[in-house]
Structure 1
Amino acid sequence: MAITFTPQDFYGGAIKGTIPQDWIDASTLREIPDHQELFLSPTTLSSQIIEVNQYVPADEAADAPIQHLSTTSLDPAVRYHIHDLCDPGDKWESITAADQVTMARMPNVPAYSGHAIMTSLTRQRRGAQSESLGGAAAGSSAEGGLESKVSVHYLIVRLERQGTDLVVFFNVPHQEFGSEALRQEEELAQKAIRTLVGTLEIVDWGLFA
């Protein structure tokens, strides 16, 4: 099946980029934080998240905790933003190192992309549905929790002059897919990030004022 993408305005048109064709703007379904844009697959639990976050200086990034991570080889800023997603008990494995990439429309801006897997243990609360990043529960632990694995394909654009880190996470829950379907969904995620490297453009820099 061909993978296609469609142009998409983010933050009222201040940023332009792409999303997978026919994906749903989550703001039409529920309230989304102002710093975030969230798009949902109409057929799976996969999602694409774009966040405008505060720029993390090198010294602060280097001091970020790493207890959740199985590798310390990541760029400090990448490690900081990955750690920021973690809940207590979550574990990360870096599948591909954070490669520095050249943004086609912002060639002088440092940017990094890569792929990690998060394993989380979510305990059921009485009367509440178990939730995790991506929303997929993969199985039970010996202690009665639900363990989930989510692939996270990421792009981090470092806008130092604007005091901003522009972060993209493409989340692929493993539980709902068979091996071939998971491979195809991972391919979609990889292509989504590569496409954003080529298309992501800041039209109104006043967004960061």
Structure 2
Amino acid sequence: MQNATVGRPLFGGALSATIPHSAKDISELRELPDNQEVFAHDHSDQSIIVELLELQNHVQNEDAARYHFEDVAGSNKASAPGTSEVRTVAALPKSDLSLEECSSAFLLTGTQCVSKFNEEAKNTVTIHLGLFRLPQFSTDVLVTFNDPLSISPGSSSAVGMGGKLQEDIEPWTLQDFQRLLQSLRLHDPGVFG
């Protein structure tokens, strides 16, 4: 299977990034909020979400990445004790990034126990979260890579998978996600309003 990447326009071409192979644009399947771009792996339960969010001035540096991780946990209904854990947070060197307009950037890795479609079954998901801070545009750009570790047999994600991830497919890797983060580029600041 080829491991080619595709440079893709985001938000009508206002931004662009290298999206990993086998990515399906979810906006072709359902309506998404204007501030989101969502891609799902064709053969696994992985997904990548790019969001333009209001800058959270009250949190700085690594705490900003933790704030957004907790916000995602709340959206995933993974905010109960023991359902969400931050493993690492690290600054991304600006010299490695194409998004020159960001004042700082961070990569957080953690896990969350989440259910799909409000099901009772919970899946353990590794969350890789890239945060780009753009205070001059009052914006936090959040890029989230959801990478399931284990799928509950009762989850709709397990249908046809036997409760585990298919091993004959080529899933996205952390390197694919890092390539996306490094390639993210701003073309039109008007996207921030």
TM norm structure 1: 0.73
1:193 to partner: Cα distance: 2.3
User: Which residue in 2 is equivalent to 1:94?
Assistant: 86
Q: Is the 8 Å Cα contact of residues 170 and 189 (structure 1) preserved in structure 2? A: no
Q: What does residue range 110-149 of structure 1 map to in structure 2 within 5 Å?
A: 110-120=104-114, 122=115, 131=117, 145-149=120-124
Q: Is the 8 Å Cα contact of residues 97 and 182 (structure 2) preserved in structure 1? A: yes
Q: Is the 8 Å Cα contact of residues 66 and 86 (structure 2) preserved in structure 1? A: no
CA displacement 1:120-152 (0-9 Å, x = unmatched)? 4x5xxxxxxx536xxxx8xxxxxxx42321111
Task: Give the length in aligned residue pairs.
Answer: 173
Runs of 4+ in 1 over 4 A off after TM superposition: none
1:107 to partner: Cα distance: 4.0
Q: Percent identity?
A: 26
Please tell me whether residue 38 in structure 1 is matched to residue 32 in structure 2.
Answer: no
Cα gap change, 1:3/1:153 in structure 2, threshold over 3 Å: closer, same or farther?
A: farther
More relative contact order, 1 or 2 (CA 8 Å, 6+ apart): 2
Query: Could you tell me how far apart the structure 1 residues matched to 2:30 and 2:126 are?
Result: 24
Q: What does residue range 14-163 of structure 1 map to in structure 2 within 5 Å?
A: 14-57=14-57, 60-61=58-59, 75-86=62-73, 87=77, 88-89=79-80, 91-102=83-94, 103-107=96-100, 109=102, 110-120=104-114, 122=115, 131=117, 145-163=120-138
Q: Is the 8 Å Cα contact of residues 69 and 129 (structure 2) preserved in structure 1? A: no
Q: Is the 8 Å Cα contact of residues 66 and 108 (structure 2) preserved in structure 1? A: no
User: Which residue in 1 is equivalent to 2:160?
Assistant: none
CA displacement 1:54-73 (0-9 Å, x = unmatched)? 0001xx237xxxxxxxxxxx
3-state SS of 1:51 partner = strand
Q: Which runs of 5+ in 2 are unaligned?
A: 152-162
3-state SS of 1:146 partner = coil
Query: Could you tell me how far apart the structure 2 residues matched to 1:96 and 1:4 are?
Result: 29
Query: Could you tell me how far apart the structure 2 residues matched to 1:208 and 1:189 are?
Result: 30
Q: Is the 8 Å Cα contact of residues 7 and 17 (structure 1) preserved in structure 2? A: yes
Q: Is the 8 Å Cα contact of residues 101 and 113 (structure 1) preserved in structure 2? A: no
3-state SS of 2:59 partner = helix
Query: Could you tell me how far apart the structure 2 residues matched to 1:157 and 1:173 are?
Result: 24
Q: Which runs of 5+ in 1 are unaligned?
A: 63-73, 123-129, 138-144
Query: Could you tell me how far apart the structure 2 residues matched to 1:43 and 1:193 are?
Result: 17
Choose 191-200 or 21-30, whichever is displaced more. 191-200
User: Which residue in 2 is equivalent to 1:68?
Assistant: none
